[in-house]
Amino acid sequence: MVWPPQGYDRPVTLDLYAGICVTNYAAARPWYERLLGSEPSFLAHETEAVWELAEHRSIFIVEDAERAGHALHTIFVDDLDSLVSEIASRGISPAEHETYSSGVRKAIYRDAEGNEIGFGGAPG
């Protein structure tokens, strides 16, 4: 996919906000702080927290019980092994590990509601 699409007549700035719905914001936020290694970058409102992972790339949790438990996000990182070790030092271990036929690896984490956050990395 090429962005912006052909025929678009001006430069496009992209911001990505990947959302994760949770049933109980107060219970979910500490787990995400441990997973992501910091407090939120900012609080959008009393039941929504945003972490800026890189410039113009953010992930957020928001309380929305009807839609909770269905997120599926993968974040590709430079050093998967180091990140998995850092997260483990904060008390969270991957629920699964996958290795694709290309050698690309993925560590999958699931919150208490079943939302899936994967971290992918180049072949080891």
Does 4 fall in a domain? no
At 92-121, the pLDDT tens digits run: 999 999 999 999 999 999 999 999 999 999
CATH number at residue 84: 3.10.180.10
10 Å Cβ neighbour count for 33?
15
At 2-39, the pLDDT tens digits run: 566 677 777 777 889 999 999 999 999 999 999 999 99
Does 5 fall in a domain? no
Number of separate domains in the chain: 1
Task: Report, as an integer, the average pLDDT of 44-63.
Answer: 97
Q: Which residues span the domain enclosing 46?
A: 16-121
What is the pTM assigned to this prediction? 0.88
Burial category of 18 from C-beta neighbours within 10 Å (exposed 0-12, middle 13-18, buried 19 and up): middle
DSSP bridge pairs for 16: 57
Query: Does residue 1 carry a pLDDT above 60?
Result: no
Does 9 fall in a domain? no
Q: Give residue 120's pLDDT.
A: 97
